[in-house]
Amino acid sequence: MVCIATAKGCGPGLGWSSPWNQGPSPSLPMTSTLSSPTALDTTAPLDPAVAFVALALAAVSWDGSLTMAGSRALRHALDYRHPYRDYTPEQMVGLMDGLMATLRRDGPQHLMVRAAEVLNAGQRATAYAVAAEIMRSDGPLEDDERNILSNLAATLQLGDAVTIPVHAAMDLLHADLDMA
């Protein structure tokens, strides 16, 4: 069991089933331990707090799996950030379960487009930076990850004036130290 930890801790039974129970695994399948995760209503607009998480989750699990590094990075990106730091463990599990069910049902592209529609320019730029950071959490960007970020930038209507500095900052944050 992998718990969705928040700044307030993690309650019993609040988590997702994971192959981590059986030993190392490169990815976390998107399955919930809750009895019946409910996908989000496809007709209702997302609120910005849900949309922000939806963008990050869709970007990092584009291929249908969430790596351990990506899962940790996503949790960290939300743990200290308002409003998520004020969520109870139950609220966080409910949010993630609903988004994961929606992601499985509708796919990442649809979820990204739907989420992008409700974020303002600043929220879109921050969501892009968070997605880029999460994608870098397991090493240098792969070609498919670059394509996903390019698609995300287009979906969010972000130009080079936003995306180039984000990638420059990620290069600095994730640079190996030359110890010579």
pLDDT of 48 higher than 90: yes
**To the nearest whole number, what is the mean pLDDT of the chain?**
79
Distance of CA 92 to the CA centre of its chain: 13
Domains, the chain, with CATH or none: 2-173 (1.10.3680.10)
pTM > 0.85: no
pLDDT at 36 over 70: no
Q: pLDDT class for 95, splitting at 50, 70, 90?
A: very high
The tens digit of pLDDT for each residue in 9-24 reads 443 333 433 332 333 3
Per-residue pLDDT at 1 exceeds 80: no
Mean pLDDT of 22-31: 40
Q: What is the pLDDT of residue 70?
A: 85
Helices (H), 8-142: 48-60, 68-79, 89-106, 108-116, 121-136
**What is the model's pLDDT at position 21?**
30
In the DSSP assignment, the letter for residue 176 is: P
pLDDT at 7 over 90: no
CA 52 – CA 4 distance, rounded (Å): 17
Residue type, 15: G
15-16 and 27-29: which strand pairing?
A: unpaired
- Give the confidence band of 86 by pLDDT, cuts at 50, 70, 90: very high
pLDDT at 68 over 50: yes
Q: Express each pLDDT in 110-147 by its tens digit.
A: 999 999 999 999 999 999 999 999 988 888 888 988 99
- Quote the pLDDT of residue 64: 72
Q: Taking the CA atoms of 110, 45, 37 and 85 in sequence, report the sign of the dihedral they define.
A: positive
Q: Would you state the pLDDT for residue 43?
A: 64
107: left (phi over 0), alpha (psi -120 to 50) or beta: left
